[in-house]
Amino acid sequence: MTFLEAPVAVADTQTIERAAGIIRLGGLVAFPTETVYGLGADATNDAAVARIFAAKGRPRFNPLIVHIASLADARKLASFPPGAVALARAFWPGALTLVLPRLPATPVSRLASAGLDTVALRVPDHAIAQALLAAAGAPIAAPSANRSGELSPTRAKHVADSLGAAVDLVLDGGATSFGIESTIVGFDAKGPVLLRPGAIPRQAIEQRVGPLRDPGQGPVSAPGQLQSHYAPRTPLRLEADEVFPGEALLAFGPNSPSHHGLTRNLSLSGDLVEAAANLFAMLHEIDAAGCAGIAVAPVPRHGLGEAINDRLRRAAADKAR
């Protein structure tokens, strides 16, 4: 396989405008933040978010951090449990990510949340990241801009070496100042939980909201709390080549089993990036219909098919427990 070079450009005003255009059209732009470089896409565009996972080569869909310009913008996407506004006021812009309940009408892609009812939000403290958010006029989903399993990039060259031409443009803003990722805080019924230690020390956060609990500590593993992946309520049956009475069908490709009841096709043309973009939105939709079960047609295992099959397997196993 030939490894094509990533287009790297110094982040001047004109280049940031070009980058924003790429984001608006559904492309991928790597950009510097104060922590590490992010691999950004329009967070409201399922297909663009699917391209992030394809570029990273992640075997799983982890939920992504969605970057916004301000607390006011964040409030349009998620609700803020007690303590969350205080943390946002104290640390935004900055290296703190808050995992918050999605608002029902949030435009953020379900794939960016990996199907969960929460969304991770962060206001970056970096002039180039802020200029890109302003020019794009959309929230930007961005994991660290490295291929899965590699180190988080702190220079444009690291991004280019890791991702190559899988990224449409790398905005070069020099070395990032922290060099480690943001601290991630979530909330459950009992208060704030430290989901990932990072650039902002635990003590600084505890000064504002009191002790942070660890995930899984104490009685917080009750169903629905801190779940690390999405599972539909309706039982899933995988690798289905026929559909039983009462079942809905989640199909893939042009040759799916015939069915007259509720049917969604992840990708009629058999495109795995399109299928990834549709996966969580379609599962939520079918789940809400209250069928007896969901028959899932086979999905190939190459490319994004690995992550799609991983999620389907977990969803099916959860119901079997």
Closest to ligand TXA by CB, 119 or 275:
119
Q: Which does 106 bind (CB under 5 to 8 A by kind): Mg ion, ligand TXA, none?
A: none
CB of 180 to ligand TXA, least distance (A): 8
Per-residue contact track with ligand TXA, 184 to 223, x per CB under 6 A? x-x--------xx---------------------------
Q: In the complex, what is the shortest distance from the CB of residue 237 to ligand TXA, in angstroms, rounded to a whole number?
A: 27
Tell me the C-alpha to C-alpha distance, in Å, between residue 105 and each of 42, 49, 134, 142, 291. Answer: 17, 18, 22, 21, 24
Sequence length of the chain is 321
List residues near Mg ion by CB under 5 A: 144
Take residue 274 and report the two structure tokens written for it. 């399109």
Measured from the CB atom, the residue of 151 and 165 that comes closer to Mg ion is 151
Distance in angstroms (rounded) separating the CA atoms of residues 54 and 288: 28
The 8-class DSSP code of residue 30 comes to: E
Contacted by 118, from ligand TXA, Mg ion, none: CB < 5 to 8 Å by type: ligand TXA
Q: Which is nearer to ligand TXA, 27 or 38 (CB)?
A: 38
Interface with ligand TXA, residue 62, by CB under 6 A: yes
Q: Hey, what amino acid is at 96?
A: L
Distance CA 233, CA 283 (A): 10
Pairing mode of beta strands 236-237, 169-172: unpaired
Cβ atoms of residues 173 and 124 within 8 Å:
no
How many Cβ atoms from other residues are within 10 Å of residue 222's Cβ?
10
Q: Which listed residue (65, 185, 243, 316) binds ligand TXA by CB under 6 A?
A: 65
For residues 43 and 299, which CB has a smaller minimum distance to ligand TXA in the complex?
Answer: 43
Residue 58 binding target from ligand TXA, Mg ion, none, CB below 5 to 8 Å by type? none
Report the DSSP beta bridge partners of residue 187: 192
Residues in contact with 174: Cβ distance below 8 Å, sequence separation at least 6, in sequence order: 32, 155, 156
Please give the residues from 84 up to 143 whose contact with ligand TXA meets the rule CB under 6 A. 97, 99, 113, 116, 118-120, 122, 142-143
Contacts for 99 with CB less than 8 Å, ≥ 6 apart: 118, 119, 120, 121, 184, 185, 186, 187, 195
**Site membership for ligand TXA, residue 182 (CB under 6 A):** yes
Of 58 and 126, which CB lies nearer to Mg ion in the complex structure?
58
Task: Give the other-Cβ count within 10 Å of 224's Cβ.
Answer: 8
Under DSSP, the state recorded for 123 is -
Residue 144: Cβ-neighbour burial (10 angstroms; 0-12, 13-18, 19+): buried
Binding mask 7-46 for ligand TXA (x = CB under 6 A): --------------------------x-xx-x--------
Binding mask 264-303 for ligand TXA (x = CB under 6 A): ----------------------------------------
* Cβ distance to ligand TXA smaller for residue 190 or 239: 190
**What residues make contact with ligand TXA under the rule CB under 6 A?**
33, 35-36, 38, 62-65, 97, 99, 113, 116, 118-120, 122, 142-144, 181-182, 184, 186, 195-196
